[in-house]
Amino acid sequence: MKKVALITGAGQGIGEAIAKRLHHDGFAVALVGRTLDKVEAVAKEIQNDHGDAIAIQADVAERDEVFAAVQKAYDHFGDFNVMVNNAGVAPTTPIFEVTPEVLAEAERINVGGTVWGIQAAATMFKKLGHSGKIINASSQAGMTGNPNLTVYGSTKFAIRGITETTAKELADDGITVNAFCPGIVVTPMMNDIAQQVADKAGKPFEWGMEQFAKDIALKRLSQPEDVAGCVSYLAGPDSNYMTGQSLLIDGGMVFN
């Protein structure tokens, strides 16, 4: 029987690439989105490639919806093995523009969504009486400070902390918890960030992207598939003896 992976935010960008990569790795995949249209389209592509995929609607900030999504994945496929807490939002907020609303929303989705995803997946693994893997989306912005990303960066630093903490809590149940930390990935999120930073400075989009891209040692932006390849490793057996870790996939940006 195929192993089952659930990926949140799988309708576009990194989540879509992870879903397709895990399908190619032999997983049945449950694709979760805040609305159904995009995840249904990606699920259809995977089904047309002889894959097992379902689309599930859930807002990851809502605990009950995340638990229901995991239950639906299990009910449909008959097992549950890997949870990828990928969904996230990225407000661009210079420090003087941070409001309680912006802070609360990013916390609800990025931090809340990760906590509920870990709870729901670990509850299911324990119920099924077997091990499991939980993989959380942090960022290079969760490893070093990025100007204008105060709120976003705080959630991504938090996700690394949650990863380390829950890895220790859940190890006795045979559950591993790791994080991936992409650098600058060409997705709708990153294009939005670059545009907003450029708009605030009265500069063109290319200038906005350059603010993030100029320190990449490998001298190219990354594609969602670069990230998906590393998540494939975290979801597969070669990472079985690894837990509580944050895998940096930034082309040599943060520490060069």
Instruction: Rank residues 170 and 247 by Cβ distance to ligand NAI and give the closer one.
Output: 247
Residue 207 backbone class (left: φ over 0; alpha: ψ -120 to 50; beta: rest):
alpha
In the stretch 209-248, what mask flags binding to ligand CC(=O)C(C)=O with x, by CB under 6 A?
---x------------------------------------
Residue closer to ligand CC(=O)C(C)=O (CB basis): 168 or 214: 214
* Binding residue count for ligand NAI, defined by CB under 6 A: 28
In this chain, which of 55, 190, 194, 254 binds ligand NAI, going by CB under 6 A?
190
State the Cα–Cα distance between residues 161 and 21, nearest whole angstrom: 27
Residue 117 engages ligand NAI in binding (rule: CB under 6 A): no
Our measurement of the distance from residue 208's CA atom to the centroid of its chain's CA atoms, rounded to an integer in Å, reads 23
Marked catalytic residue, from 74, 152, 233, 241: 152
CA distance 6 to 217: 33
Q: How far is CA 254 from the centre of its chain?
A: 19
Q: Which of residues 145-164 bind ligand CC(=O)C(C)=O (CB under 6 A)?
A: 146
Q: Is 12 in the site for ligand NAI (CB under 6 A)?
A: yes
Question: 220 — phi, psi (to 5°)?
Answer: -155, 150
Cα separation, 123 vs 151, in Å, equals 30
Q: Is 171 helix (H, G, I), strand (E, B) or coil?
A: helix
Rg from Cα positions in the chain: 17
Q: What are phi and psi of 34, to 5 degrees?
A: -65, -35
Which of 39, 141, 213, 247: binder of ligand CC(=O)C(C)=O (CB under 6 A)?
141
Closer to ligand NAI by Cβ: residue 15 or 251:
15
Question: Does residue 8 interact with ligand CC(=O)C(C)=O by CB under 6 A?
Answer: no
Task: Residue 120: name the closest of 84, 159, 156 by CA.
Answer: 84
Q: How many residues does the chain have?
A: 256
Active-site annotation holds for 74: no
Choose from ligand NAI, ligand CC(=O)C(C)=O, none: what does 137 bind? Cβ within 5-8 Å by kind: ligand NAI
Q: Which residue, 86 or 139, is less far from ligand CC(=O)C(C)=O as judged by CB?
A: 139
245's CB contacts (< 8 A; 6+ apart) are 163, 167, 178, 179
> CB of 135 within 8 A of CB of 179?
yes
Q: Please give the residue ranges that form the binding site for ligand CC(=O)C(C)=O (CB under 6 A).
A: 90, 139-141, 146, 184, 189-190, 193, 212
Q: Please give the residue ranges that form the binding site for ligand NAI (CB under 6 A).
A: 8-9, 11-15, 33-34, 59-61, 86-90, 109, 113, 137, 139, 182, 184-185, 187-190
